[in-house]
Structure 1
Amino acid sequence: MTQPRPTTAPAHRLVPGPAGRVHLVEQGSGPLVLLVHGFPESWYSWRRQLPALAAAGYRAAALDVRGYGRSSRPADPAAYRMLDLVADNVAVVEALGEREAVIVGHDWGATVAATSALLRPDVFRAVGLLSVPYTPPGGPRPSEVFAAMGGPDAEQEFYVSYFQEPGRAEAEIEPDVRGWLAGFYAALSAGTQPGPGAPDPHFVSRGGTLRERFPAGRLPSWLTEEDLDVYAGEFERTGLTGALNRYRNMDRDWADLAAHHGAPVKQPALFLGGALDASTTWLSDAIAAYPATLPGLTASHLLDGCGHWLQQERPEDTNRLLTDWLAALPA
């Protein structure tokens, strides 16, 4: 069946935000769908969704999250807390001349999207979560949870704790951004992720690096050399600190959102996960809790044979499930 052609070509825009500027790429016309990427990516991770959403009758806008790409990169690490990212998303909706939007996020973007929907239901009428399930605010202090994940012998360290120490991950990544990104993407992709019994790439050996556990020698099937050039070129220009500062605010977020501990997101919701993604296997209890935590959930799918980079690994499936869900939302 022939798909309708997009109404417009992708257009880059800079719009005002609380930290200065937000860069986004938009395509199409109709109800606004705001697309929020994760780590370590950019608006470019939604390159396959922009034309599909435009063709389906939506105005799709994929932004560079604060600290990434052409968006502002505040110097203060505390400027990357969740409340600031929610404010950025609201500012984008307003700058685009809209009153409301559907928000869809992947990886960290899924958490940002869920929190945006939680805090501003007046702006975000529905929420789509890719790869990372919704877990309500609350529980133990995050830094303490992650510090304990290396095990009692402390011979290895969880990657979140590794990322939380200023400068440490930058020292590993920035001498060879392109090579590090290639390994990181491969480590979490179906077809190139380490097999059973191999060292887990989510952990760092004491005194070691994450890269030591990445597969080497080939790119995942969804990533071309040209795609890798785009990602690497952005991070070579900006550095990694802005992106990594998201991890360095998790305890601040925990305190900022204390009034919302245990709160459900009530808007219509979508969840898409990869069956081979650690985010969905480790957080299976969060998915099981959706009747209480996402009572508005109207569609949930685990894609067999898919890793973490869901909308890039399986763009056709993602586009179909996303547009079907959008079409079924209340007007």
Structure 2
Amino acid sequence: MMDNSLYKSVATRRGIKYSYYFSPPTAGKPVLLLLHGFPCTSYDWRYQVSFFKAQGYGLIVPDMLGYGRTDKPTDPAQYVQRLISQDIIDILDAENVQKAIAIGHDWGCATASRLANCHSDRFIAFAFLAVGYVAPTGTKYEDLLAQSKQLSGSELFGYWSFFSEKDSHKTIEKNFDSFYSMLLADDAELWKAHVSPLGALKAWIEANKRTALVAYVPKEEVEIQKQHLLEGGLEAPLCWYKVNIVGLEPEDQKGIPQENHLVHQPVFFGATLRDYVCRPDFGKMLAAKCCVGPLTVRDYDTGHWVMWEEKDKLNQELLEWIQGL
């Protein structure tokens, strides 16, 4: 579904090599920029790529920094979102794409958000899946934990602390099947007890516990994704968390002008109702506050991985939204 012959590479202005899937549009159709999250690759978007390519839309689907065939720096300072968003603009420039529609999932939503804040003139619209729009509030990790506990009654992002530990990548790689079984747990509610609380995910992985995987991802596709991740290792991908934990990302956000915090282009938010970390109510609240252009919200009775679990419904509703722009 992701034709290897359609992958290209480019060195961005800061000297980082990105690998990305590129398929040009047919006449009159826009280009869709698909931004994946953790711990994934461009392969995440296989169902969307096949669907929208058949409809004639252009597609740019990068392996994000630290993943796939893109460079894998292990210095968290390289993962500041404004730097990554400029990398993405460099990819658009390499393909002479003046305007695109950005669609993000998980950490890809953070990158799409920074594109909206810092390069809004290059985008027709933005779609945010699961996570929603991420405002550049400059909130430190400790404060984010406290806020999430106050609003939801639990520490939604306690697992970030484990991910930021020096050798966490070694622990995960050693017990990768335990780690991946929790990410793709058939029982999404397990995230409440074994992902969100401080220390919970570390305890699960160190004990090498397993749980049943979701049925909607075929075993062969699980193996492909595991192979992609283990070949590159987890040290670089975990920098997406470390840059926040050490305070580099929150500090950088303070440099974004207040007037750029609002998104004026049309926005699509795909809320995942059984996502117990990326809470749909928080995503809707922030979208209503910060997305001041036309806002489309669609609910999906899924866990975090909406682009796999409800691929047909999501693809159709994204198509209808894009056609209506």
1:247 lines up with 2:241 in the alignment: yes
Q: Report what 1:277 is aligned to.
A: 275
Larger deviation, residues 200-209 vs 232-241: 200-209
Larger deviation, residues 260-269 vs 120-129: 260-269
1:292 lines up with 2:286 in the alignment: no
Q: Report what 1:3 is aligned to.
A: none
TM-score normalised by length of structure 1: 0.84
SS of 2:172's equivalent?
helix
1:199 lines up with 2:193 in the alignment: yes
1:13 lines up with 2:13 in the alignment: no
RMSD: 3.0
Q: Report what 2:228 is aligned to.
A: 234
Q: Which amino acid aligns with 2:236?
A: G
Q: Report what 1:23 is aligned to.
A: 19
Larger helix percent: 2
Note the residue ranges of structure 2 that are not aligned, 5 or more in a row.
none
Shift of 1:201: 2.5
SS of 2:61's equivalent?
strand
8 Å CA contact 2:103–2:128 kept in 1: the answer is yes
Q: Which amino acid aligns with 1:99?
A: Q
Q: Report what 1:131 is aligned to.
A: 130
8 Å CA contact 1:156–1:205 kept in 2: the answer is no
1:96 lines up with 2:95 in the alignment: yes
8 Å CA contact 1:159–1:204 kept in 2: the answer is yes
Q: Distance in 2 between matches of 1:221 and 1:319?
A: 19
Shift of 1:274: 1.1
Partner of residue 268 from structure 1, selected from 266, 290, 306: 266
Query: Equivalent pairs: percent with the same residue?
Result: 24
Alignment of 1:1-331 (within 5 A): 11-17=6-12, 18-27=14-23, 29=25, 30-138=29-137, 140-146=139-145, 158-167=158-167, 169-186=168-185, 191-194=186-189, 199-205=193-199, 208-211=202-205, 216-250=210-244, 251-260=247-256, 263-281=261-279, 284-304=281-301, 306-329=302-325
SS of 1:260's equivalent?
coil
Q: Which amino acid aligns with 1:67?
A: G
Task: Map Cα deviations across residues 188-210 of structure 1 (whole Å, 9 max, x no partner).
Answer: xxx422469x7243234479524
Q: Distance in 2 between matches of 1:106 and 1:208?
A: 24
